[in-house]
Amino acid sequence: MKTQFVYHFTEGHKDMRNLLGGKGANLAEMTSIGLPVPQGFTITTEACNDYYENDSMMDSEMLQEIDHALAQLEVEQGKKLGSDQDPLLVSVRSGAAFSMPGMMDTILNLGLTDTSVKGLIFSTQDERFAYDSYRRFIQMFSNVAIGIPNDKFETILDHIKNEKHYQDDTELTSLDLQEIVTEFKNVYFEETGSAFPQNPKEQLLLAIEAVFKSWNNPRAKVYRRLNDIPQTLGTAVNIQAMVFGNMGKNSGTGVAFTRNPSTGENQLFGEYLINAQGEDVVAGIRTPQSIDRLKEEMPEIYQEFINITQILEKHYQDMQDVEFTIEKGKLFMLQTRNGKRTAKAAIKIAVDQVNEGLITRKKAIRRIKPNQLEQILHPTFDPESVKESTQLTRGLPASPGAACGQVYFHADDAVKEAKCGKKVLLVRQETSPEDIEGMVSAKGIITARGGMTSHAAVVARGMGKPCVAGCTLLSVNEEKREITTGQVTIKEGEYLSIDGGNGAVYIGEIPMSTSSLDDHFKVFMSWVDEERDMGVRSNADNPRDAKQALEFGAEGIGLCRTEHMFFDEERIPLVRQMIVADNKEDRIKALEKLLPHQRDDFYQLFKALNGKSCTIRLLDPPLHEFLPQDNDSIESLALQLGISRVQLEKRIKELREFNPMLGHRGCRLAITYPEIYKMQARAIAQGAIQATKEGVKVKPEIMVPLVSIVEELRILRKLIEETVNAELEEAGITLPYTIGTMIEIPRACVTADEIAKEADFFSFGTNDLTQMGFGFSRDDAGKFLSDYTEKGIFEKDPFQVLEQKGIGRLLSMAVKLGRETKPNLKMGICGEHGGEAATVRFCYQQGLNYVSCSPFRIPIAKLAAAQAKIEKQDLNSNRNN
Ligand code: PEP
Ligand code: MG
């Protein structure tokens, strides 16, 4: 069957977003439910892909379909493109399946030429309006379709405004605008060597092509990478009859959210400008008015608008972000989409909508992106320190959260300085899509211009970065790299702090405090907990972290890295004594001194956990990591240990390894020095006994790291069992404990059936499994992995997001083999991937019993686990239907 490349708005519906893009599908949907939408047609995402497959050419069938659709639109509108009487003007907008704010480009007023501008004057009897539209079109077209920098045009505009002492664009007269049009056309000629296209059809095709091309511009690629949007989807193009918000005082244009996108409050939230055209509001060039003012200025339109937003929210069952234009007192809807929102707002809206009966709990759970929760878990400023700080200025609270850093004025600099480890605040007059990488690198963003829906605000909110926009009192000089306000000048590299929740900008660096989680969040997480059936534990190495983890809702400790206890000031000398001992006797003496400390560690941990499971991993890193490297420290350690410097250096040399991560570490240490694990096993048993005696329930799970062959585990299991049992016997106490292993070496995965014979549980150490599965050193891969992601070899860094095809297959093989030996073998994951949403989903699908991650990521892991379960249920019920 012939592929249909073009759909009229009357042909589509909202579920066609893959083909029509989000914008196109929703324009069609709004048309189908009878809302006032200027008509038009959508060129599909398949057409975009076809264009790329066809060596960046539109094939003849596509061109024919465009012709037909255009002819149909001309008939409907009773206007003709390029007419010298009553010309049809159109907008050309991109629209991918997922909304990508600011990533793609829009052209308005297409169809204006030296001839049709006369037609527009004729039909509107408004010369000023016609030339205003023409100059806007020349600039947008030249910039978007041809790539001529905007400032070439802005300079001309500013020059004329200055010359005439105008404050505002609205003061430009028709004659001024005609002069501007001529000058703009000259710019076009100078930049391209040819005259500005006077054939509207040619304009249209160039614009469509520009949208196709913009799918692959670097900014769009970065955005897709950051938001997990496949690079292969392609964008649709929407051609829509123009309506004008710049036709005088009874015209205007605006954007609105059906609920507050920062707080989630159920109240219309938006901005508009009278006598302005579409892009003026989002571009942040003029500061818009709050939507509430529309109630006074145009009460009937306001009421109609309210009704429409309510219809849309009910229809889509979600908060909507809409664009509208009022042309001479008539309201038109130009766009609707599910509104981007802060995590805090997302949770409140989801909970409220469940309570309002609009959506189910499951839908609420599915709607929140797990990674978005990072936002609410972000720190805020310490209130006491804020009181003592000096406020530099105040802007709009564009995206909540606190941030401080050194100010940089260009995106490139922000990227560069952040790479050097600096905390950076990006300060811009206003941001544009070119700044995206700088925004990613920055801790927060400040802009001097722009409203709550400006580029900076929308993008920062999506990223969960604090942003203060529209600081109109700041004079930002990007060239001189400084900000001035009154007498104060802040230069590049100096510190500022911002509170995106209230719009304050402070001088200097303000300390942060942890976030407090509100009631909506608690309710939401309780629903998540009800839904979820996979456990979520935390990685924690001490009682303090364990308590924090429990506060975040951890169901136990999935990994306690005992070596972290060794770095304590009091213990490190004892650890070093143990390491430098060159005979067993001396080593045991040192270990005896460490024992009470470790016993207390475990006792405290058990108490903090109060009956929850606790996986304690025995010593893992290579011993030399505990020894000093520089001369001064070696000197003082030798003194401390009462041995000669030469002796100590000799021992350090002996311990040095070429590849320590593949060397004498993990269970291999205990094969050589069983006394180390023996001391740790005793400490665990004694700590557990002490806690039990005090009535605290304990559930130690003793874990052996880096096992590659079952014999290692067999030997060490015996050692641990004998040691623990002896302690329990002596104390006359019985308590449940288990002995398991980490699975983090490929050989362990492929022989997991054998290893399972000696293990009560498996915990996947996916950091090492990734290292050893790929043969990428964990310590060195950072230097070259970015080349892999840039070249598209990896979508994501495999140390952050589990690489499922290879490393995931190893994991899945181990699960299968392990459970062939022991069908109920408990399994979890404790590598860094355990708090990463896509990995959690994968682990659920593989049948793991729990994931374990850092305390701050627990809610994320829980949500991902609940979503994975709902997804499975949905899949099963679809199968059964
Ligand atoms: C792992 O390898 O995934 C793990 C959890 O252990 P570590 O990071 O301590 O090597
Ligand atoms: Mg490991």
- We report the CATH number of the domain holding residue 456 as 3.50.30.10
Do 188 and 138 touch, CB atoms closer than 8 A? yes
Q: Read off the pLDDT band of 181 (50, 70, 90).
A: very high
Kindly state the percentage of the chain with pLDDT values over 70. Answer: 97
Tokens representing 767? Answer: 């950091």
- The CATH number given to whatever domain includes residue 840 is 3.20.20.60
Q: Is 766 annotated as a binding residue?
A: yes
Query: Is 370 a domain residue?
Result: no
Last residue within a domain, chosen from 183, 212, 240: 240
- The alpha carbon of 706 and the centre of ligand 2 are apart by a number of angstroms equal to 7
Residue 101 has pLDDT above 60, yes or no: no
Query: Is 369 a domain residue?
Result: no
Residue 8 has pLDDT above 90, yes or no: yes
The helix (H) or strand (E) run that includes residue 572 is helix 572-580
Do 500 and 397 touch, CB atoms closer than 8 A? yes
Residue 595 has pLDDT above 80, yes or no: yes
- The CATH number given to whatever domain includes residue 131 is 3.30.1490.20
Residue 597 to residues 562, 679, 683, 700, Cα–Cα distance (Å)? 12, 11, 8, 17
**Contacts by residues 306-314 (CB-CB < 8 Å, ≥ 24 positions apart):** 306/268, 308/35, 308/333, 309/256, 309/258, 309/268, 310/258, 311/33, 311/35, 312/30, 312/35, 312/258, 312/336, 313/258, 313/358, 314/358
Query: Is 521 a domain residue?
Result: no
Kindly state the percentage of the chain with pLDDT values over 90. Answer: 70
Q: Is residue 768 within 6 Å of ligand 1 at its C-beta?
A: yes
Closest CA to 410 of 329, 349, 481, 328: 481
d(CA 625, CA 848): 32
Q: Is 768 annotated as a binding residue?
A: yes
Q: Is residue 321 within 6 Å of ligand 1 at its C-beta?
A: no
d(CA 201, CA 850): 60
Closest CA to 340 of 401, 437, 262: 262
Q: Which domain holds residue 295?
A: 252-341
d(CA 466, CA 446): 9
Look up residue 521 and give its amino acid. F
Look up residue 31 and give its amino acid. T
Strand-strand pairing, 613-617 and 700-704: parallel
Q: Verify that 568 and 578 share a domain, yes or no.
A: yes
Tokens representing 154? Answer: 């802005």
Q: Is residue 765 within 6 Å of ligand 1 at its C-beta?
A: yes
Work out which ligand 1 atom sits closest to the CA atom of 559.
Answer: 5
Q: Is residue 564 within 6 Å of ligand 1 at its C-beta?
A: no
Look up residue 424 and give its amino acid. V
Residue 495 backbone zone (phi > 0: left; psi -120 to 50: alpha; other: beta): beta
d(CA 662, CA 676): 20
Q: In angstroms, how far is the first alpha carbon of the chain from the final one?
A: 29
Over residues 653-710, the pLDDT tens digits come to: 888 888 888 999 999 999 999 999 999 999 999 999 999 999 999 989 999 999 999 9
The full 3-state SS of 373-405, as one line of letters, equals HHHCCCCEECHHHHHCCCEEEECEEEECCEEEE
pLDDT of residue 668: 97
Measured on CA atoms in the order 154, 155, 158, 163, is the torsion positive or negative? Answer: negative
Q: Verify that 627 and 751 share a domain, yes or no.
A: no
Q: Is 561 annotated as a binding residue?
A: yes
Would you give the distance in Å from CA 92 to the centre of its chain? 29
Tell me phi and psi for residue 11, to 5 degrees: -95, -20
Task: Indicate the top mutation candidate among 539, 619, 620 to test ligand 1's pocket, ranked by most ligand atoms within 8 A of CB.
Answer: 620
- Does this model's pTM top 0.85? My answer is no
pLDDT of residue 226: 74
Q: Verify that 331 and 468 share a domain, yes or no.
A: no
pLDDT of residue 285: 61
Coil, helix or strand at residue 630: coil
Return the higher-pLDDT residue of 632 and 143.
143
Q: Which ligand is nearest to the CA of 561?
A: 1
- The alpha carbon of 606 and the centre of ligand 2 are apart by a number of angstroms equal to 23
Query: Is 64 a domain residue?
Result: yes
Over residues 425-468, the pLDDT tens digits come to: 999 988 876 788 899 899 999 999 877 667 787 678 656 689 99
Q: Read off the pLDDT band of 221 (50, 70, 90).
A: confident
- The number of distinct structural domains making up the chain is 5
Taking the CA atoms of the chain, what radius of gyration do you get in angstroms?
32
- The alpha carbon of 705 and the centre of ligand 2 are apart by a number of angstroms equal to 7
Closest CA to 423 of 399, 404, 446, 402: 404
Q: Is residue 830 within 6 Å of ligand 1 at its C-beta?
A: yes
Query: Is 279 a domain residue?
Result: yes
Q: Verify that 590 and 648 share a domain, yes or no.
A: no
Q: Ion ligand 2 — residues with CB under 5 Å?
A: 744, 765, 768
- Residue appearing with tokens 């449940």: 736
Mean pLDDT of the chain: 91
Query: Is 640 a domain residue?
Result: yes
Q: Exposure of 304 by Cβ count < 10 A (0-12 exposed, 13-18 middle, 19+ buried)?
A: middle
Do 808 and 802 touch, CB atoms closer than 8 A? yes
Q: Verify that 865 and 728 share a domain, yes or no.
A: yes
Last residue within a domain, chosen from 313, 341, 369: 341
Q: Is residue 835 within 6 Å of ligand 1 at its C-beta?
A: no
Task: Indicate the top mutation candidate among 561, 617, 743, 857 to test ligand 1's pocket, ranked by most ligand atoms within 8 A of CB.
Answer: 561
- The alpha carbon of 558 and the centre of ligand 1 are apart by a number of angstroms equal to 12
Q: Considering all CA atoms of the chain, what is the largest pairwise distance in Å, rounded to the nearest integer?
A: 103
Q: Verify that 675 and 649 share a domain, yes or no.
A: no
Do 291 and 271 touch, CB atoms closer than 8 A? yes
Query: Is 385 a domain residue?
Result: yes
Average pLDDT rounded to a whole number, residues 634-647: 87
Closest CA to 824 of 748, 868, 764, 759: 759
Q: Verify that 126 and 91 share a domain, yes or no.
A: yes
Query: Is 467 a domain residue?
Result: yes
Q: Is 744 annotated as a binding residue?
A: yes
Q: Verify that 27 and 126 share a domain, yes or no.
A: yes
Q: Is residue 744 within 6 Å of ligand 1 at its C-beta?
A: yes
Q: Is residue 766 within 6 Å of ligand 1 at its C-beta?
A: yes
Positions marked active-site: 455, 830
Q: Is residue 758 within 6 Å of ligand 1 at its C-beta?
A: no
Q: Verify that 118 and 258 share a domain, yes or no.
A: no
Across 545-692, the runs of DSSP E, i.e. the strands, are 556-561, 613-617
Q: Verify that 853 and 727 share a domain, yes or no.
A: yes
Residue 180 to residues 173, 248, 480, Cα–Cα distance (Å)? 10, 20, 29
- The alpha carbon of 763 and the centre of ligand 1 are apart by a number of angstroms equal to 10
Work out which ligand 1 atom sits closest to the CA atom of 766.
Answer: 3
Closest CA to 256 of 303, 283, 292, 301: 292
d(CA 327, CA 679): 81
Q: Verify that 594 and 650 share a domain, yes or no.
A: no
Taking CA atoms only, the protein residue closest to ligand 1 atom 8 is: 767
pLDDT of residue 634: 87
Residue 103 has pLDDT above 70, yes or no: no
Do 457 and 393 touch, CB atoms closer than 8 A? no
Tokens representing 464? Answer: 């969960």
- The CATH number given to whatever domain includes residue 268 is 3.30.470.20
- The alpha carbon of 830 and the centre of ligand 1 are apart by a number of angstroms equal to 7
DSSP state for residue 481 in the 8-state scheme: T
Residue 284 has pLDDT above 60, yes or no: no
Do 761 and 829 touch, CB atoms closer than 8 A? no
d(CA 734, CA 731): 9
Q: Which ligand is nearest to the CA of 770?
A: 1
Work out which ligand 1 atom sits closest to the CA atom of 768.
Answer: 2
Q: Verify that 49 and 169 share a domain, yes or no.
A: yes
Would you give the distance in Å from CA 58 to the centre of its chain? 35
Work out the number of other CB atoms within 10 angstroms of the CB of residue 500: 30
Coil, helix or strand at residue 699: coil
Residue 379 to residues 27, 465, 501, Cα–Cα distance (Å)? 40, 12, 12
